[in-house]
Amino acid sequence: MTVEQLTLPTTQLTSVQKTQFIKLEKKLRRNVGQAIAQYNMIEDGDKVMVCLSGGKDSYAMLSILMRLKESAPIHFDLIAVNLDQKQPGFPEHILPEYLDKLGIEYHIVEENTYDIVKDKVPEGKTTCSLCSRLRRAVLYKAAKKIGATKIALGHHRDDMIETLMLNMFYGGKMKAMPAKLVSDNGEHVVIRPLAFCKESELIQYSELKHFPIIPCNLCGSQPNMQRQNIKRMLNDWHDQFPGRIESMFTAMQNVVPSHLCDSKLFDFKSINSTSGIINGGDTAFDEVAIETPQDLSPKNHLNDAQQLNVIEVK
């Protein structure tokens, strides 16, 4: 059985849905391929550890990477890894059964981080921060054990924009999720192949594929309210001002340090009358015509099964 057959939706689609699925998957493959090429995420001979949480994003990431591997001009291996944190009610059978059907190499890492978090975090407080740090440590250890050269996480474009806004509003920094970085311990390269993918399209893809979604709220923790507020704000902007989110993400790829205020990134002290015009000078403040992207997705209201991936690295 080919990878294409293995990654097709498991239920019969109508002719309209099939056309919709083919177009959507083609677009997602193009976006993932563009991100991989732009940031040199995957190289010949890489062993990529795909972190699979059981959420829509990581399922989609694995599916798209498997399709791209089939036609890629280079050779690389994919190994799916899931961290079983021993949360109450975690359906241990779902991921092994799904991955067995795909025929992909995988590892289920069992580590009772749930009890550690419950012991350290007071009742009623959000556990996400500590849980995330513990997950990172376990996943980095797993990557070293299996000899992975890259660690792939399922964060998408909307996650990156939300993180930028969170850091601006609450952290006083212009900092988001990078598409590629070196891990906290300095031993691994972490990549986000879905960096150019919209969450709304991943939701649509997940629904057409009928992924066996595992809820991310099994721990009983309160959701990150700041992130949820940012998400609502961005969704409202998308409804009221179509194209604004696309423009924001484009801006993240077109940073002009000379027109910000960080003297660590640009030498403002050295500017004098002989410096010449720098990056357009005052013309940077003139009004510019912003084209509205043609391909705009409608707002999607997320249910519990469609929340952000369990794995979240800040």
What is the predicted pLDDT for the residue at 305?
Answer: 36
The CA distances from residue 103 to 3, 78, 99, 178, 242, in Å, are 9, 11, 6, 31, 41
* Residue-range domain boundaries for the chain: 3-230
Predicted local distance difference test score (pLDDT) of residue 296: 47
Closest CA to 195 of 32, 29, 16, 10: 32
pLDDT score for 132: 81
Which residues are registered as beta bridge partners of 196? none
User: What residue numbers does the annotated binding site for [4Fe-4S] cluster cover?
Assistant: 128, 131, 219
Percent of the chain having pLDDT more than 90? 68
| Residue carrying the six token digits 């177009």 | 23
Annotated binding site: 128, 131, 219
Residue 119 has a CB neighbour count (10 Å cut-off) of 7
Dihedral Cα 117, 122, 124, 125, nearest 10 deg: -70
Residue 225 pLDDT:
79
Residue 45 neighbours by CB under 8 Å, 6+ apart: 74, 75, 76, 149
CA 286 → CA 9, 13, 243, distances in Å?
49, 50, 20
Please state the separation of Cα 35 from the chain's center in Å: 12
Amino acid, single-letter form, for residue 122: P
Q: Is the pLDDT of residue 60 over 50?
A: yes
The SS3 assignment for 201 reads: helix
Closest CA to 109 of 142, 61, 134, 77: 142
Q: What is the pLDDT of residues 76-124, one digit of tens each?
A: 999 999 999 888 888 999 999 999 999 999 999 998 888 888 778 777 6
* Pairing verdict, β 189-191 and 180-182: antiparallel
**Alpha-carbon gap, residue 206 to 66, rounded angstroms:** 15
Gap between the Cα atoms of 254 and 234, Å rounded:
20
Please provide the average confidence, as pLDDT, over all residues in the chain. Answer: 86
What is this structure's pTM?
Answer: 0.84
Between CA 143 and CA 135 the distance in angstroms is: 12
CATH hierarchy code of domain 3-230: 3.40.50.620
Give 189's strand partners.
150, 182
* 104 vs 293, more confident: 104
Q: Locate 281 and state its tokens.
A: 């000078």
Per-residue pLDDT band at 216 (split at 50, 70, 90): confident
pLDDT for 312: 37
> How high is the pLDDT of residue 308?
33
